[in-house]
Amino acid sequence: MSNIVKKLNPSEIEQLLQRLQLDTENLPTGMRARAKYEGVTISIYHSQKVMFQGKNAEAVCFKLLGESIVASETTKEAKKKKATSTNTIAYNTHSCIGSDEAGSGDYFGPLTVCASYVSAQHIPVLKELGVDDSKRLTDKKIVELAEQLVTFLPHSLLVLDNPKYNERKQLGWSQVKMKAVLHNVCIKNVLKKVDVNAVDYIVIDQFAKREVYEHYVLGEVPERQKTKYETKGESKSLAIAAASIISRYAFVKHMDQLSKRYRMEILKGASHKVDVTAAKVIEKYGVEVLDGISKSHFSNRNKALALVNSKR
């Protein structure tokens, strides 16, 4: 199946919409319309990007838009490409499951973990969409990308909210153990959605060495021989980059909800400004509320209490 993405201007979008019988019911967030045309699924996003999916995607794209498109490489062709060096795997020439997390260094908000499957055929699509290391992207861009990625990438997203996070911490779980368990579950979930034989590698953005990761997971590590651990994995694998964007998206949306609920900006990170925000939450709502929306073992908690006490 071919996948082609094109960025159109507003006029081109309107012309395309007029040529299609549109489905606008029960669409994922971020999608404006969806249509079927000569066996090809056409997804039109609010970002003005249009995805053509199907065996005849290139022909339909050419017919509707009147411009040539370079077809995506097939998985077989991609696998023939060699790694850039003897010590480095060129993950973006293979079909991979990637996993990453967000929120682990933030005092407020949950820990979110995602695993996503990116086939070799999807690599050009992700590049066209602008998928990149989430640390280089604005929150607005992350939301835009994630709302497109979740419509076609097999993925699993888990959110460990603050009460459950703090409960695990009180039971003696380290953050590394929490992440290992969540990563492993996400990967297992994605493997149930795809053909295992079509997965060349499982790539985890490394937060612990292999032996530590395997020690902490509950149960077995699936497809252990295919599993790799990469530092700065987002820059090496688009599967990890996609997972990072989706997990960051979930974190950002959760933080936005907290800000609306408590009528103040709930800051990301763990800086002194976050201490000040936490102190405001204590003064307005109490320390119990603070603990319900934060990771209570962070030093920010004591610093916020000190700020409150200094005013008394």
Question: What amino acid is encoded at 13 in this protein?
Answer: I
101 assigned to a ligand binding site: yes
Longest dimension (CA), the chain: 72
Compute the C-alpha angle 62/8/3, nearest 5°. Answer: 50
What is the reported pLDDT for 248? 96
What is the reported pLDDT for 300? 96
> Tokens standing for 238?
């688009």
- Rounded to whole angstroms, how far apart are CA atoms 295 and 305? 14
The length of the chain, given as a count of residues: 312
67 assigned to a ligand binding site: no
Chunked in runs of 10, what are the mean pLDDT values of the chain (312 residues)?
A: 82 86 86 90 90 86 65 39 57 96 96 97 92 82 94 97 97 95 98 96 95 92 95 94 96 97 96 96 97 97 96 78
| Global model pTM greater than 0.85 | no
- Residue 163, by phi and psi: left (phi above 0), alpha (psi -120 to 50) or beta? alpha
In this predicted model, what pLDDT tens digit does every residue of 26-47 receive, in sequence order? Answer: 888 888 999 998 889 999 998 8
Neighbours of 306 (CB within 10 A): 11
What is the reported pLDDT for 73? 36
